[in-house]
Amino acid sequence: MDLDGKVALITGAGSGIGAATARRFVADGAKICIIDIRPDMLEQTASSLPRGSFVVWPGDVSVLNDVENMVEHALTIEDRIDILVNSAGIDPSGPEVNADISYWQKIHEVNLTGPYLTMRTVIPHMIKAGRGSIVNISSLSGLRYIAGRAAYSSSKGGLISLSQAVAVEYGPFNIRCNVICPGGIKTPMFENNIRPLAQMLGKDLEWVFAKFTSFSPLRRIGSPDEIASICSFLASEDSSLLTGGVLVADGGTSIVDANGAAISTVFPSR
């Protein structure tokens, strides 16, 4: 994709999809401001980028003052922001049943309020520039419920709705907003959630990933780089007519009928 001359702000850039998107955007010609709450992880991402292609700002997307500061820092690049990628998100492992209310609140603060605050702060600058592309990272869990993940699923479902609201409200200002719903992606967050199960079963992560995707048409876990390539497409002019889109990147998982998948287990493997 051609992102030459574009300026992008990427949240959650310390690892996973955010870090992969940072590397892809720079490779495609953009200058970027990378954001994460973890300074050490940000430095790891920064060390993988060519000098002069980025600025760094540690901050919490769920805190308005932090968001305002990170946007002001991004504006020091070229006094505009052409692209916003909301990749910051959390999915704490462990059961939600009887969890303290703070568990619910924190997930929604980061996964839903965070993108709301960044879009609210960045959009006026996009209006001033006369254009903009926003890419929000939701999840297949925002469309298909995973047992025991009510807080995460509802936060990601809310992000899909919020993204489409932004597309409608700000389309007349030439601002596009699309959302990506990844399925299983091999990120540190997903690995941390799967690791307790692997340890309980006495298996390695790759074995669990294989089981996790065994009913998926592609039969494999995705990579952050694959999601980053979709982000680059949505950020570029090649997707100029796309807004309000919900792009499901799950290896085909969401098209499989749950009943059909269940009954298939009674037949010998082909």
Residue 131: its pLDDT value, please?
98
Is the separation of the CB atoms in 215 and 180 below 8 Å?
no
pTM of the entire predicted model: 0.93
**Pairing mode of beta strands 54-58, 83-86:** unpaired
DSSP assignments along 117-142, one per residue: HHHHHHHHHHHHHT-EEEEEE--GGG
pLDDT at 265: 76
List the pLDDT tens digit at each of the 270 positions of the chain: 799 999 999 999 999 999 999 999 999 999 999 999 999 999 999 999 999 999 999 999 999 999 999 999 999 999 999 999 999 999 887 666 557 899 899 999 999 999 999 999 999 999 999 999 999 999 999 999 877 789 999 999 999 999 999 999 999 999 999 999 999 999 998 898 889 888 989 999 999 999 989 999 999 999 999 999 999 999 999 999 999 999 999 999 999 988 887 777 777 655
Q: Is residue 202 part of a domain?
A: no
Token pair listed for 239: 């997707």
62 with 102: CB under 8 angstroms?
no
CB 61 within 8 A of CB 110: yes
Q: What is the pLDDT of residue 146?
A: 79
Using an 8 Å Cβ cutoff, are 198 and 208 in contact? yes
Number of domains in the chain: 1
User: Is residue 228 in a domain?
Assistant: yes
Whether residue 93 is contained in a domain is answered as yes
Q: Which residues are catalytic?
A: 152
Is the residue at 249 inside a domain?
A: yes
Backbone angles phi, psi at 8, to 5 degrees: -125, 145
Structural domain containing residue 21: 7-185+222-253
**pLDDT number for residue 140:** 95
Pairing mode, if any, of strands 175-182 and 132-137? parallel
Q: What is the pLDDT of residue 264?
A: 77
Assigned domain for 213 exists: no
Extract long-range pairs of 239-243: CB within 8 Å, 24+ residues apart.
239/133, 239/176, 239/178, 240/176, 242/176, 242/178, 243/167, 243/171, 243/176, 243/177, 243/178
Structural domain includes residue 193: no
CATH of the domain at 35: 3.40.50.720
Tell me, yes or no, whether 230 lies in a domain.
Answer: yes
Q: Tell me if 113 is assigned to some domain.
A: yes
How far apart CA 263 and CA 270 sit, in angstroms, is 14
